[in-house]
Amino acid sequence: MKTKNVFIWIVACIWSIGTANAAIRYVKPGGTGDGSSWAKAAGDILPATLTDGDIIFVAAGTYSITTNLAITRSNVSLYGACVGTETSVSQLAAVPDTVNNKTIIQYTGEAAGTGRVINATSPNVLIQGFRITGGNLSSGNGGGLLIASGTVRYCTISGNKAPNGGGIRLNGSDANSAIENCIISGNEATVAGGGINLSKNTQVNNCIIQANKASTGAGGIYTTGGGGEEIDRCIIDGNETAGGDGGGVVLNKALLTNSLVSNNKGGGTNRGGGIRISSGSNVSFVYNCTVVNNESGSGGGGGISSQNGISFIKNCIAWNNRRNTSGTITDDNLSTVKAISSYSICTDAADNNNLNADPLFTDAAHDDYTLQESSPARGAGDPSVGLTVDLAGNPRGTATIDIGAYEYYTQETGLTPIAAGKTLLRYLSATREIVVDNPAGTSITVYNPAGVCIVKKEAATRISTAGWAKGVYIVKAETVAVKIAVN
């Protein structure tokens, strides 16, 4: 993993050198200019002729397209969620405000089944700060996006459809590619990978993959087995496959770490309601994941199935998963033949320092799978896996490590202080409210786990969470220390 990160850094440096002096194209809704400035902003996102290293700033608004955005040159960067005053990349927000500056690219072509939103066939593209929706393919891969190589970050990809990779198909043909800090939801694949379809040398980091569907496999994420696919710090929740394997994710020569796999479902003879380790000799690894409340079909492995694939499962919690055989529900957390499970909590695993004990989640009834202070998962893991942070961004131990996606951290009661410019992690649901003791009237910002701004309020004293997806959120005091409580 360290070698891969160094490689990405080198590629990023080469990209930055090559584009440091590139001209910027400015785009805003209804623009009629040549794109040379905000005052002369263009209305079309892409120019008639692209060149290597083009940088495009796109102001908030909705951009309807009837043909896909074809990126045919290398090192092209598209930045959405722009305020409309930025004149250099350094002036862009580190985390784009995609709530107040929504930038939507939607395919509205009349011919059903023929429209992909973004088709990037050249290497090292960057797509940041957009909502991408409406893609619909009857053949091919990637209904929302097809990326040959590059990075997609701080995007919401929803409401797209394709045979493979309903939301996005990400390749790694020329360099390591990544999806980072994105929400991939409500997409559909008629074959495999309702949300994401990954090829070789690709990463998915700090994303939410939720409520996607596939017909024959992997409602959430499908890894093709090219090698080097890694998924880290993701929430894979509420995805579904109708009859194939892997309601949440299918791993084939892949690595899954620090992730919550919950509430996924497979139908028919499905194997692996949460995770399916694919068949064959390819080896996959699952470290420090919480796999809970998933349901398989009659094939079994409500939580994890690796009956024909070789896998190493370590520091994981597989709990309260089930098998549905023609309406008959039975407990079924782990169904394995060629898997080595160790330092994990699971009713179906024995020996190898595994535990069969209630993991004592904080509030499982409301999908809060952080750990209580008395949880047997505390300090019971194997730190040799080398993970430094957990799903919520808390540091992991070096001498000892907790089992599952979350390290235990103190869940203070009452008012909890947040220093100026600092953040606090809290589990929130749609029935709760953030109460702020804020005498100085500082701005309060709340981000979801994907790093996307959910709300920013000046002089906030109360912030309603109505309509939010339940989960861990990041609350930040911008300039002055405050105290908060969650009711």
Q: Give the tens place of pLDDT for each residue, 15-52.
A: 444 444 578 999 999 999 999 999 999 999 999 999 99
Kindly list the distances between the CA atom of residue 451 and the CA atoms of 109, 385, 462, 468, in Å, as whole numbers in the listed order: 31, 25, 21, 14
pLDDT tens-digit readout, 58-76? 999 999 999 999 999 999 9
Question: What is the pLDDT, as a whole number, of residue 11?
Answer: 39
Report the pLDDT averaged over residues 398-422. Answer: 79
- For residue 24, count other CB atoms closer than 10 A to its CB: 19
What is the per-residue pLDDT for 413? 45
Give me the mean pLDDT over the 386-411 stretch: 87
Spatial contact of 194 and 169, defined as CB atoms under 8 Å apart: no
Query: CA-to-CA distance for 298 and 295, rounded, in angstroms?
Result: 10
Alpha-carbon distances of 396 from 391, 411, 483, rounded to whole Å: 10, 16, 25
Quick one: which H or E segment has residue 16? Answer: helix 2-19
User: At 10, is the pLDDT very low, low, confident or very high (cuts 50, 70, 90)?
Assistant: very low
Work out the percent of the chain whose per-residue pLDDT is above 90.
53
What number of residues does the chain have? Answer: 487
What's the mean pLDDT in 143-152?
A: 95
> 3-class DSSP state for residue 192?
strand
Mean pLDDT of all residues in 443-466:
82
Q: Contact at 8 Å (CB) between 3 and 11?
A: no
Strands 275-277 and 304-306: parallel
Q: Are 31 and 61 in contact (CB under 8 A)?
A: no
Closest of 158, 135, 58 to residue 102, by C-alpha: 58
Which one is predicted more confidently, 450 or 120?
120
pLDDT above 70: residue 337: no
Q: Give the confidence band of 268 by pLDDT, cuts at 50, 70, 90.
A: confident
Check residue 431 and give its pLDDT.
59
How far apart CA 167 and CA 182 sit, in angstroms, is 11
- pLDDT at position 410 is 64
Res. 256: pLDDT tops 90: yes
Q: What pLDDT shows up at residue 12?
A: 43
- Which pLDDT score, from 0 to 100, does residue 217 have? 85
| Residue 19 DSSP symbol | H
Listed as own residue / partner, the contacts of 22-27 with beta carbons closer than 8 Å and 24 or more positions apart are 22/53, 22/54, 22/55, 23/54, 23/55, 24/55, 24/56, 24/57, 24/87, 24/88, 25/54, 25/55, 25/56, 25/57, 26/57, 26/59, 27/56, 27/57, 27/58, 27/59, 27/63
| Residue 308 pLDDT class (50, 70, 90 cuts) | low
What band does 218 get if pLDDT is binned at 50, 70 and 90? very high
